[in-house]
Chain A
């Protein structure tokens, strides 16, 4: 399996807080990797390192390497914006741009990268919305405000916006935790389809979701990677007692 993203001895400090401790992990291409662990274990911090979100936090210090296709994204001279075009992110709370229509939301990221003609934009909007199974629900009101959509629809819109720029990796930080169960299942089904084209890394505190949706599961505790393996194995015969205690609800 080709390794799309590779973390090598990643350490993240927020001032004196050593939040991520010497983490090394491979994320295979076209797979879904779930990152699980109790609150404060560093999972979101790890995720946000992969698209250089910590660049925006003055107190953050990131050391180690993160390789995207064998090139370190933290190398001198690398433009973080270019990384964020290749590594998209979906957040916990759906965040469509509030002043924009559905149509404009989808095309927003694409427009940032340069001019695009009308026909091309139409095509991108339609194909992105179709990919997230939202097209049929919104095709007759593309110009209406995005905030009129339900929570589940808004989240799918955000995913459409993310994939419109044709990223290679999609990071998801608890993408369904603000949604109702049915919307959650629809998002999970979407993730299953998306992995054909993208590499997906998802942080979730919902163990059953990690078990349903991922191919690989990585368990973190207090900033360290405790165990990483095939989801099937982690949830039936994990190697580490800590992993087992966490997923069986004996601590966390």
Chain B
């Protein structure tokens, strides 16, 4: 059973950081869903709202950074508390980047919505769904210290990578057969890359969870 600190206040401070991270993760998941929705349903107003929503993610990043700094200054955390705080600082950066990628997707969606759709979007929503699940599970793994779940996230990155490659091949075929599709295809390709990057960020978080739980640094070792 997990023991509590002698200082209840210390436990409260750490739990606050955990909740804020989950809150940030939740908002990021909403952004992923909405950015995809704004594309698939051709809803440019939703795209606008999604782009504006990024401010909330950035605000949470600053808040969590500040709380982590305070814990470092006042509590001199050691061992797993130290790993938790330093990794929370890094995870916040990955989440903030995911927010940026979602805003980028929404911007491209806004542009694509002014032109006829290239084709029905099937693989992109699947990618978005997979990436969103990865983000959620990576954060759950972090907060619970669940390294088994973190490993699962790392393995699922392959699914998103495969979808990305598939989409790129398909778009290439489009562009080669009909040059008038090039402008739209490039934007769709960009969106696919954004989603692939989002999955990579989720994988980063998962790798850090494994380090936090096991004390083993597996970053840059999995091909």
- B214's nearest neighbour on chain A, judged by CB, is A237
- A238's nearest neighbour on chain B, judged by CB, is B79
Do the beta carbons of A236 and B76 come within 8 Å of each other? no
Do the beta carbons of B4 and A235 come within 8 Å of each other? no
User: For chain B, which range describes its interface: under 10, 10 to 19, 20 to 34, or 35 or more residues?
Assistant: 10 to 19
Which B residues contact A (CB, under 8 angstroms)? 3-7, 10, 76-83, 215
Main secondary structure, interface of B, reads: loop
A234 CA to B78 CA, complexed, in Å: 9
- A235's nearest neighbour on chain B, judged by CB, is B78
Give me 8 A-to-B residue pairs in the complex whose CB atoms sit less than 8 angstroms apart, sorted by A's number.
Answer: A236-B82, A238-B79, A247-B78, A249-B10, A250-B3, A250-B4, A250-B5, A251-B6
A237 CA to B81 CA, complexed, in Å: 10
Contacts of A237 in B (CB 8 A): 79, 83, 215
A243 CA to B80 CA, complexed, in Å: 11
Do the beta carbons of B78 and A245 come within 8 Å of each other? no
- Other-chain residue from A208, A236, A249 in contact with B83 (beta carbon distance below 8 A): A236
- B216's nearest neighbour on chain A, judged by CB, is A237
With known contacts A208-B76, A248-B78, A249-B10, A236–B215 Cβ distance under 8 A: yes
Do the beta carbons of B215 and A249 come within 8 Å of each other? no
Do the beta carbons of B4 and A236 come within 8 Å of each other? no
A247 CA to B80 CA, complexed, in Å: 10
Q: Is A194 an interface residue (CB 8 A)?
A: no
Contacts of A251 in B (CB 8 A): 3, 6
User: For chain A, which range describes its interface: under 10, 10 to 19, 20 to 34, or 35 or more residues?
Assistant: 10 to 19
CB distance from B13 to the nearest CB of A (A): 13
CB distance from B18 to the nearest CB of A (A): 16
Q: Is A67 an interface residue (CB 8 A)?
A: no
Which A residues contact B (CB, under 8 angstroms)? 207-208, 211, 234-238, 243-245, 247-252
- Other-chain residue from B6, B10, B79, B215 in contact with A247 (beta carbon distance below 8 A): B79
A238 CA to B215 CA, complexed, in Å: 9
A42 CA to B76 CA, complexed, in Å: 26
CB distance from A176 to the nearest CB of B (A): 17
- A252's nearest neighbour on chain B, judged by CB, is B6
- B10's nearest neighbour on chain A, judged by CB, is A249
Contacts of B77 in A (CB 8 A): 248
A248 CA to B7 CA, complexed, in Å: 11
Do the beta carbons of A250 and B6 come within 8 Å of each other? yes
Do the beta carbons of B7 and A244 come within 8 Å of each other? no
Given contacts A245-B3, A247-B78, 14 further A-B contacts (CB under 8 A): A211-B78, A235-B82, A236-B78, A236-B82, A237-B83, A244-B79, A247-B79, A248-B77, A248-B80, A250-B3, A250-B4, A251-B3, A251-B6, A252-B6
Do the beta carbons of A248 and B215 come within 8 Å of each other? no
CB distance from B52 to the nearest CB of A (A): 41
Contacts of A235 in B (CB 8 A): 78-79, 82
User: Most chain-A Cβ atoms within 10 A of its Cβ — which of B4, B7, B77, B78?
Assistant: B78
Contacts of A244 in B (CB 8 A): 79-80
Contacts of A250 in B (CB 8 A): 3-6
A249 CA to B3 CA, complexed, in Å: 10
Do the beta carbons of A248 and B4 come within 8 Å of each other? no
- A211's nearest neighbour on chain B, judged by CB, is B78
A79 CA to B76 CA, complexed, in Å: 45
- B79's nearest neighbour on chain A, judged by CB, is A244
